[in-house]
Structure 1
Amino acid sequence: MRITSIHHIAIIASDYKKSKTFYTEVLGLRILKETYREERDSYKLDLALGDQYLIELFSFPQHVPRSSRPEATGLRHLAFSVANVEEAVGELRTKNVPVEDIRIDEITGKKFTFFSDPDHLPLELYEA
């Protein structure tokens, strides 16, 4: 087997409309397709960053909360590259998104910070 890339990241939202707004209007991801699956009473929203298919956002009527902090086992966070962390933080804060203080990666010397989506999924901004 030879993996060539990551195809997508799947996220289940507790409040689909709120998360749809967050990922499209706050983070600026582009909607490729929105599908309602009647047999599951569920939406599937395909989102892209530029030309890259990136996230599948789902709604399910039956969902359970997943622990993510502090340092829970499993997927730790989703990181987005940005050219300038300070500018990105400023933009998020103008949209009333709480953002942690900017830190410096002790290994790479790059700036990074964390914030959360509406379901408290940890998201990272990492300066490229």
Structure 2
Amino acid sequence: MLGLKQVHHIAIIASDYQLSKHFYCDILGFTLEAEAYREARDSWKGDLALNGQYVIELFSFPFPPARPSRPEACGLRHLAFSVDDLDRAVEHLEKHGVNCEEIRIDPFTDKRFTFFADPDGLPLELYQQ
């Protein structure tokens, strides 16, 4: 048996590192645990945590290609975050200029959810527990 335990981290490449760092830390509430500039690659790397747990490696690279997402592209579809109060979370995002799709109800779980995007258009989901 392979012995996987959990997802260790998610790597995201941003077209504008500072803008994405602001979005993930100041709007979504991640904390910057460590940050390094890698001169040989002209690349920033930030380690972001959510509630004390390391979750995202945020990278920048010169001239990354755009990620096709609409219509749905093959590969990672979206990242989903759980929240206790979806209405309050949507209000917070919209107060910071982040547009959310209309709230929907999962027909299998009867739970409420919505989608929004990071500064590069990466689809993100809020799912009410």
Alignment gaps of 5+ in structure 2? none
Post-superposition shift, 1:70? 1.6
Aligned-partner residue type, residue 30 of structure 2: L
2:62 partner SS: coil
Aligned-partner residue type, residue 2 of structure 1: G
Q: CA RMSD in A?
A: 0.6
Distance 1:60 1:20 in 2: 14
Distance 1:51 1:58 in 2: 20
Distance 1:68 1:96 in 2: 21
Number of aligned residue pairs: give it.
128
Post-superposition shift, 1:29? 0.2
Q: Deviations over 1:90-118 (max 9, x none)?
A: 11011110111100000000000000000
2:92 partner SS: helix
Distance 1:8 1:51 in 2: 13
Alignment-derived partner of residue 67 in structure 2: 66
Taking the TM superposition and a 5 Å limit, the aligned residue runs for 1:1-128 are 1-128=2-129
Alpha-carbon contact 2:93-2:99 (below 8 Å) kept = yes
TM-score (structure 1 length as normaliser): 0.98
TM-score (structure 2 length as normaliser): 0.97
Alignment gaps of 5+ in structure 1? none
Post-superposition shift, 1:62? 3.1
Moved over 4 A (4+): none
Identical columns (%): 59
Distance 2:119 2:63 in 1: 17
